[in-house]
Amino acid sequence: MKVAFTIAKRFLTYSKGQTLAIMLGIAIGVSVQIFIGLLITGLQTGLIDKTVGNSAHIIVTQVDDEAFSVTQSGFKPVDDFTSISYAVDGALVVRVGDTSASALLRSADEGALAIYDYEEKLTAGRLPQTDDEVILGNLLAEELGVDVGDTVTLQTFTNETREVTVTGVFDLSVAAINERWMVGTPSGAQSLFGLGNNVTSIEIQVKDVFAADALALTLKDELRSGYSVVDWKSQNESLLSGLNGQSISSLMIQIFVLISVVLGIASVLAITVLQKSKQIGILKAMGINDTKASLIFLFQGLILGIFGALLGVALGVGLLVSFTTFARNPDGTALIPITFDVPFILFSAGVALVSAMVASLIPANRTRKLSPIEVIRNG
């Protein structure tokens, strides 16, 4: 064992250039794998986060869109739901002096605050606290020419009116929302629309966004009839199939990188056996047994694999760090949010290590067959 390791180490340090070249080869393979893998994952996480981060994953409504009582619907929260908003929505007209605009009044209960993160998204003012306070989307506020502290009149389609004070302006980064949404307290919305304790929808965020469709199905079974349950996945099928295609192509790239790394190591090590056949012959004449002789090449594979993988991880992480540092949005946030997925990095390094070992099996096996007499005779 020890002698095989000593010889393997010496063979590698003796031809430094060649050793470095193989290590670099492995390192580039590993770093490409880490870089592409994490980049694609980051890209997808970013996309999914943009799609579902600040929106409901599952929405429950009545089929006829009427308001309903939560208790009568049969709805029960489960652990998989991270946020639940019992929402009260209604369309109305907002007036300020001569200007008016149509808007959607939404309620902000605890769940809605968690889902839409209004507090964070406020560009001015504070959240509404009483029934005659609201916050508006920034585009709506602009259209109406109102600001924090102004009073506006809300008029429903059943001609109910109410004066409310604007306590804040938000920006949810979606123009359609910023143009139309107005957010008040649940009780304020319920009394304005005359809904009593009823709600118009239940909006839910779940722990595992990809389980939303399954959870929606279970939920639908539990509800009384006449309710519709919609999940984000069924509404974003083209996005999901796009992401899936991306994952597959990323996997293909990784597999081909891996294959080329394995072939590279195998061929270089096969050449080393030829280069070192004289030495192997001498060692065999001195009585090294075949197992130890082949261990020399396995150890070379191991050493090359370890250092190649380490170098590759350093290179890959370095690439990602510089990528996140330089590829930024105008507002300074990362263009693609990359998480340094340690298990994935370790996996890539491990795969490289294993492939280096596997690649060295071929030359190791060839040493076994080498007979010392061929070397002795051919001087």
Per-residue burial over 299-330, b if 16 or more Cβ lie within 10 Å, else e, is bbbbbbbbbbbbbbbebbbebbeebbeeeeee
Minimum CB distance to other proteins, residue 370 (Å): 12
Distance CA 70, CA 327 (A): 47
- Segment contacting other proteins by CB under 8 A, of 7-15, 31-39, 111-119, 235-243: 7-15
Minimum CB distance to other proteins, residue 27 (Å): 24
Distance CA 182, CA 359 (A): 64
In 4-130, the DSSP E strands lie at 58-62, 81-87, 90-96, 99-107, 122-125
Minimum CB distance to other proteins, residue 7 (Å): 8
Q: What is residue 137's three-state secondary structure?
A: strand
Identity of the residue, 268 or 283, whose beta carbon is nearer to other proteins in the bound complex: 283
Minimum CB distance to other proteins, residue 265 (Å): 20
Distance CA 192, CA 154 (A): 9
Distance CA 79, CA 267 (A): 54
- Segment contacting other proteins by CB under 8 A, of 10-18, 67-75, 83-91, 109-117: 10-18
Strand bridging mode 81-87 / 201-206? antiparallel
* Torsions phi, psi for 334 (to 5 deg): -65, 140
Q: What is residue 353's three-state secondary structure?
A: helix
Q: How many residues bind other proteins (CB under 8 A)?
A: 29
- Segment contacting other proteins by CB under 8 A, of 4-12, 82-90, 109-117, 121-129: 4-12
The DSSP output letter for 2 is H
Q: Say if CB 118 and CB 135 are below 8 A apart.
A: yes
* Interactions with other proteins, residue window 14-33 (CB under 8 A): 14
Minimum CB distance to other proteins, residue 341 (Å): 41
- Segment contacting other proteins by CB under 8 A, of 3-11, 119-127, 321-329, 358-366: 3-11
Minimum CB distance to other proteins, residue 285 (Å): 6
Burial of 80 (0-12, 13-18, 19+ CB in 10 A): middle
Interaction pattern, residues 263-302, with other proteins; x per rule: CB under 8 A? ---------------xx-xxxxxxxxxxxx----------
Minimum CB distance to other proteins, residue 309 (Å): 25
Neighbour tally for 149: CB within 10 Å: 10
Identity of the residue, 7 or 94, whose beta carbon is nearer to other proteins in the bound complex: 7
Strand bridging mode 161-170 / 133-137? parallel
Identity of the residue, 4 or 87, whose beta carbon is nearer to other proteins in the bound complex: 4
- Segment contacting other proteins by CB under 8 A, of 166-174, 209-217, 314-322, 371-379: 371-379
Query: Does 376 help bind other proteins (rule: CB under 8 A)?
Result: yes
Cα first-last separation, the chain: 28
Among 176, 251, 274, 373, the residue binding other proteins under the rule CB under 8 A is: 373
Tell me which residue has tokens 């599952």. 58
Interface contacts to other proteins, rule CB under 8 A:
1-3, 6-7, 10-11, 14, 278-279, 281-292, 371-373, 375-377, 379
